[in-house]
Structure 1
Amino acid sequence: MNSEILVNVTPMETRVAVVENGAVQELYMERAQTRGIVGNVYRGKVVRVLPGMQAAFVDIGLDRAAFIHASDIDQSRGENDAHKPIQSLVREGQSITVQVIKDPIGTKGARLTTHLSIPSRYLVYMPDTNHIGVSQRIDGDEERDRLRTLVTKVKADEEIEKGGYILRTAAEGIGEAEIQSDLNYLKRVFRVLGERIKEIEGPAIIYEDLPLYLRVARDLVRADVEKIRIDSKETFTKVIDFVRKYTPEVEPVFEYYPGERPIFDLFSVEDEIGRALGRKVDLKSGGYLIIDQTEAMTTVDVNTGAFVGHRNLEETIFKTNLEAVTSIVRQLRLRNLGGIIIIDFIDMEDSEHQRQVLRMLEKYLEKDHAKSKVTGVSELGLVEMTRKRTRESLEHMLTETCGVCNGRGRVKSAQTVCYEVFREILREERAYNTDQYLVLASQEVVDRLLDEESSNVADLEDFIGKPIRFQVEPMYTQEQFDVILQ
């Protein structure tokens, strides 16, 4: 699998596209005014303790208070303390050092933990434990044991007593020098962090994760990445300085892109972003997906569409579902959909077909950087899964609630609004005395009142004994109207 990473930088925002085999698989965006805060460490102040929810709200200096659950608070004073009530762990007004593990999403504040973790290129440092773990993506017991032994040795050589580490996927195959460099970097970072914790009362930020273009150099350089192209000379220079300091071996992967053609046009990334905001995703066979994102969950409906197959209906359904799997996993990554996801595959009678589709879904999800879990097929034939959500989805980042339909995705029909107009006139007639009525409404509603509803208008005028006039208001939406007494 050949991968390229495209980095588009403007003063307003940084955008990163991960392209695998010529197709965009993931998108990352960071806007100067609304940078993500996952990974940031804050000195916060507890503003409210909620025993009923076993949680607390913490002021970390943002518009909305952040949220921390009792399970995310350090309770490392023995196993018997594992289920302490929240009121025994924190109190209102208390200063607390926390790290953001989930960005504010929608109306929800940021999610916090007191279990700090500081990442570097190959390692994640965790000051509250002495455990040495290895990424599940690193295969082979021999390599996993070698890496654990390396970290243990370097820790002893550097006389680092406190803290545990997780070896990241990028650590596969590295040697002692790289481990030593990362350990020393993390030691320096945590020393500075410790000093700031002592100095600052809060609420205030005390450690900020790297900007997106540097996180690309730290987190996204893998063995299968052939090139990382950056279209800003200034940003390219900063990235190269960072790489030469911490990971000089990956410098050849980076390349400045000076082309006249916008970098996101190289692989039609802009078109992909536009399509990723739509509900319908076409499959090559003629089938299609319908993806609906709601507050509670995301639903994916698979349809055969124009695909009729060549042998029989069961084969058509099976092939459509198999093709849908690859598209669904790609869309989950591209749109950064998280939380509960319900997939309604086309019903398959053959249990072996069901098993193959489920197995293929799990296999493709292994390539996804976000942790996911498929719980199987429900009694209704729906595939239920979860995908870890740490940041806003593409839709939430790039769109806002429609001011016309208020997020319903539907508007009242012109006929419905006409009947509301009639009811409003009757209501006004009972309450007030007037000579005539003027109705202000949208073009569509006025056209219908003067055409299809003209006989009803005439009947209403006879009933109330007064004339009704209509006037188009170009700025009104289809649901808006006013009835004016004259």
Structure 2
Amino acid sequence: MSEEILVNVAPPETRVAVLENGVAQEIIIERTQHRGLVGNIYKGKVCRVLPGMQASFIDIGLDRAAFLHATDITDGNTTENDQTGSISELVREGGEIVVQVVKDPLGSKGARLITNLSIPSRHLVFMPSLSSISISQKIEDEDERERLRALIEEITDDTTLPGSFIIRTAAEGANAEALKADVRFLTRLWLDIQERIKSTPPGMLIHEDLPLFLRAVRDLVNPEVDKLRIDSRTSWQKLRAFAEKLIPDSQVQIEYYPGERPIFDLYGVEDEIQKALERKVQLKSGGHLILDQTEAMTTVDVNTGAFVGNRNQEETIFKTNMEAAQAICRQLRLRNLGGIIIIDFIDMIDEEHKRQVLRALEKALSRDHAKTHITEVSTLGLVEMTRKRTRESLEHVLCETCHCCGGRGSLKTAESVCFEIFREILREARQFDVESLLVLASQEVVDRLMDEESSTLAELEGFIRKTIRLQSEDLYSQEQYDVVLI
């Protein structure tokens, strides 16, 4: 499978698209005014300790205080899996603490923090609080794991640097020189961060992660990536210089795209972004998915739609579910959906079919950079899974809550609004002694009051013995209205 990475750089935002066999699989957007915070290191000030939640709120200079749980507080002699004591024993109000952001602010929630700092490079992650070398589980070959471990142990034998390294998936096949270069880079960076920790006041940034177009090389380039194309000459020059230091032996081609046609248009990525904002996703067979993202979870409903199959119903359902499993994994990456995800596959009777659909889902998710966990198919045909969420979804980045419906996704009918107006008129007429009333409403509601509800309106006028006048307002939504006393 061939991969390409497209980078679209503009003053207000940078966008990165990962393509597999020419099809967009992942979209990452970073806006200049709202840059992601994940990976940033701050010197924070404890502004509130909550023993009941085993957590504390930390002021790191953002609009909202960030969140630090007791289990995310470690020191040089512990690991993140160790049991910790009470939050009151670990931090105190007004105290200073060095923290790193692991999750951007999402919705009304502040950023999520840890004290177990990590500094990534191309092949390695340096962990000051780590005591032993760890290796990515995605490197499955035991001989390769032992080779990498031996190389890092040999390289770090002569260093007095506290902490240790995690060997990333990208290190598979890397030679000793590449690993040495990473160790030197991380050593220099950590010493610089230590100096900044001493001099930086509380509530200030100590270390900022790389901009998106540089992170694309560090985090997304792998042996399967053939080409990286970028449409900004200035950024291209910086990217090449960065890549020569970070991945000098890589075969990936870093190209500048000078064309007049926008690079995302050329590869159809703009269309994919628009489709990723819709609820309905069409499958090639004629079936479709319905994706609903809520505060608590994301639900995915699989439907056969226009697909009727050729043999029998069970075979039709199985083929639809197999196709849906591939499409769902792509949509999760494309839309960057995280948290709890419930997939409602079409009910299957054959246990072997259920097993094959689940294996297809797991195989497709194995290419996902985000950590995922899947359960078995339940008796209701549901698959529960989680996907690690570190940044806002594509919908939350590009869209805002509808001002008309308030995010419900539906509006009261004109008929319902008319009946509300009638009740409001009765309420006002009984409470106040006026000569007439003026109803301000949207054009759709006024049209209904003058047409289908005209007889009811006339009866109401006779009942309250007051004149009711109507006036349409172009700026009113269908649910908005006012009853004015005259």
Task: State the TM-score, normalized to the length of structure 2.
Answer: 0.98
Write out aligned runs for 1:72-151 (5 A). Answer: 72-75=72-75, 77=77, 82-151=83-152
Q: Does 1:376 align with 2:376?
A: yes
Instruction: Provide the residue aligned with 1:448 in structure 2.
Output: 448
Quote how far apart the aligned CAs of 1:379 are: 3.8
Q: Structure 1 pair 130/83, CA: closer, same or farther in 2 (3 Å)? A: closer
1:366-396 C-alpha deviation (Å, 9 max, x unpaired): 1101000002223432100000000000001
- What SS is found at the alignment partner of 2:456? helix
Q: Does 1:328 align with 2:328?
A: yes
Q: Does 1:360 align with 2:356?
A: no
CA distance in 2, matches of 1:71, 1:479: 47
Q: Which amino acid aligns with 2:378?
A: S
Task: Report the identity percentage.
Answer: 62
CA distance in 1, matches of 2:108, 2:276: 23
Quote how far apart the aligned CAs of 1:131 are: 1.6
Q: Structure 1 pair 10/251, CA: closer, same or farther in 2 (3 Å)? A: farther
1:450-475 C-alpha deviation (Å, 9 max, x unpaired): 11111111111111122211111011
Write out aligned runs for 1:299-318 (5 A). Answer: 299-318=299-318
Instruction: Provide the residue aligned with 1:54 in structure 2.
Output: 54
CA distance in 2, matches of 1:17, 1:332: 14
Deviates more, 1:71-80 or 1:211-220: 71-80
1:235-273 C-alpha deviation (Å, 9 max, x unpaired): 001111112233222375100000111100122111110
Instruction: Provide the residue aligned with 2:69 in structure 1.
Output: 69
Q: Does 1:166 align with 2:192?
A: no
1:110-137 C-alpha deviation (Å, 9 max, x unpaired): 0000000000011000010122111122
Instruction: Provide the residue aligned with 1:425 in structure 2.
Output: 425
CA distance in 2, matches of 1:348, 1:440: 54
Q: Which amino acid aligns with 2:314?
A: E
Write out aligned runs for 1:29-44 (5 A). Answer: 29-44=29-44
Quote how far apart the aligned CAs of 1:75 are: 5.0
CA distance in 2, matches of 1:41, 1:365: 30
Consecutive unaligned residues of structure 1, counting only runs of 5 or more, are: none
Contact 1:95 1:201 in 2 (8 A): no
Q: Which amino acid aligns with 1:436?
A: S
Task: State the TM-score, normalized to the length of structure 1.
Answer: 0.98
Q: Which amino acid aligns with 2:164?
A: G
What is the aligned residue count? Answer: 485
1:16-70 C-alpha deviation (Å, 9 max, x unpaired): 0000011100001110000000000000000001111100000000000000111
Consecutive unaligned residues of structure 2, counting only runs of 5 or more, are: none
- What SS is found at the alignment partner of 2:250? helix
Runs of 4+ in 1 over 6 A off after TM superposition: 78-81
- What SS is found at the alignment partner of 2:223? coil
Quote how far apart the aligned CAs of 1:422 are: 0.2
CA distance in 2, matches of 1:238, 1:269: 24
1:308-336 C-alpha deviation (Å, 9 max, x unpaired): 11111111111110010010000000000
Instruction: Provide the residue aligned with 1:181 in structure 2.
Output: 181
- What SS is found at the alignment partner of 2:409? coil
Contact 1:41 1:97 in 2 (8 A): yes
Write out aligned runs for 1:386-397 (5 A). Answer: 386-397=386-397
CA distance in 2, matches of 1:171, 1:133: 12
Q: Does 1:285 align with 2:285?
A: yes
Instruction: Provide the residue aligned with 2:296 in structure 1.
Output: 296
- What SS is found at the alignment partner of 1:107? coil
Q: Which amino acid aligns with 1:316?
A: T
